[in-house]
Structure 1
């Protein structure tokens, strides 16, 4: 762990010495391989940050990219932190034609699957915990095509409601070099304000379950479908983001990340909804 020593003095809350890495405590421990437990960069921290951005601030901006313990709710979880890009908490990563199956059940999408060091879905429950506040959050989307051209987009603010609301998606204003594929008002493809759908729980606006519809034999996976999709970052054979990523313009990778909003600081009592902003 020599690579940690140069920024340890700035992190006054870390207690790394004498820690037994076999006893890593995290509610989503299934999202990291047992042999990677020693890669958690803030194991032993007495008071955990609620997200990666808070960890970055705690380290005076010196924290490196990697896996950290964070605590957005009652229990710690592991998450990959994109520190060099500004302290983003990565909540989804997909590689086209990934070996990871994204055709999962409601329960699996709720608590996450995959590996936080690679392709994964962090979990709808943790998306809700992260974005419910205090303070508003924003969503970052990163797309990389087969020519290594990267496009970015941000929705500010961003909220995923709780399970009783079927993890409904709430989005604010968009900016970026990517196309606005979630809030653009196109017929049947408006993802903002939609509930989450999986193969075993149909909450979309189509007469069939959008998560079950196949392209080249691969189902769509869980997503905030309308009827059905102007974007879908969980279809592993074709990453879809309207004109930026599709079967004609192939993308190799996609990320979804969250961090505190730059513009809106306080949240009203109760869950934030777009129509309350």
Structure 2
């Protein structure tokens, strides 16, 4: 699949939506991630009680929700996010194409709140990553890589936690499984991304003597990431998507996604507007 935009169903609208909703009054803290003329892409604008994430939206719809843009509320405010429903209700937190027109050379504030187009290349925002993975219950991180021969590789880290801003949005990862290599928790030449704080071009939290986010390849800076010294993986480098042996300068990847959803060890029980976790 070439980008998230191609996942969008034409004219799709959930029955949960309210007919005639005035899209001019659509409320979302990160509404900047949808072009003003595309607010009608939101599939659940009329929901009175918003789901916490895409998985909860899928469960609320009894498994009928389709891929697309939804309002969710992982914290105090609602946000828009792209939901990969057909793959199990994943909340997409990052998408990049190797020749993306979206620059990932952004500041700390921009990585905090998110940038890009939620239906295409984007970063959902570190603050929302924190809100999503901070529970209730455990969450897992999914990584999807597609190379230039259309070979897809997948990986999951269970559990995942992105700590709050005061901790530098530190990344905490659990056990890995998948067809991709483990590029985040294996220490390969000082490239241990697990337990690292986030670094941007204006906030250096890495373990290198230079700022890893500023280091360029073919004139393009590395972008924000959980660097060590510097990277065994970096899915925010626009001209070379990097994931150890799976994606690099010699083995080019065309697309990459990062997604989160509740861990398989957590069963969400829905009863009306209430839910609880069973571990």
Counterparts of 1:173 and 1:44, CA distance in 2:
38
Which structure 1 segments of 5+ residues have no match?
9-13, 267-277
**210, 213, 221: which one aligns with 1:211:** 213
The 5 Å alignment of 1:174-185 reads: 174-185=176-187
Counterparts of 1:170 and 1:79, CA distance in 2:
22
The 5 Å alignment of 1:2-151 reads: 3-4=12-13, 8=15, 14-151=16-153
Q: Deviations over 1:64-107 (max 9, x none)?
A: 00000000000000000000000000000000021110000000
Aligned pair 1:154/2:135, yes or no?
no
SS at match of 2:71: strand
Deviation at 1:263, TM superposition (A): 1.9
Aligned residues: 259
Counterparts of 1:219 and 1:41, CA distance in 2:
35
Deviation at 1:44, TM superposition (A): 1.1
SS at match of 2:100: coil
1:272 paired residue number: none
Counterparts of 1:21 and 1:98, CA distance in 2:
28
SS at match of 1:191: coil
SS at match of 1:188: coil
SS at match of 2:144: strand
Deviation at 1:188, TM superposition (A): 1.0
1:236 paired residue number: 238
Deviation at 1:150, TM superposition (A): 0.2
Counterparts of 2:228 and 2:12, CA distance in 1:
46
Whether the aligned pair in 2 keeps the contact of 1:190 and 1:226 (CA below 8 Å) is: yes
Counterparts of 1:97 and 1:81, CA distance in 2:
23
Cα RMSD of the aligned pairs, angstroms, is 1.3
Counterparts of 2:69 and 2:177, CA distance in 1:
28
Counterparts of 2:129 and 2:17, CA distance in 1:
28
Deviation at 1:265, TM superposition (A): 6.3
Q: Deviations over 1:183-217 (max 9, x none)?
A: 01223100000000000000000000000000111
Relative to structure 1, the CA distance from residue 192 to residue 33 in structure 2 (aligned partners, 3 Å threshold; closer, same or farther) is same
Counterparts of 2:164 and 2:54, CA distance in 1:
21
Whether the aligned pair in 1 keeps the contact of 2:70 and 2:83 (CA below 8 Å) is: yes
Deviation at 1:39, TM superposition (A): 1.0
Counterparts of 2:107 and 2:78, CA distance in 1:
23
Which structure 2 segments of 5+ residues have no match?
1-9, 269-279
Counterparts of 1:35 and 1:110, CA distance in 2:
24
Counterparts of 2:44 and 2:198, CA distance in 1:
32
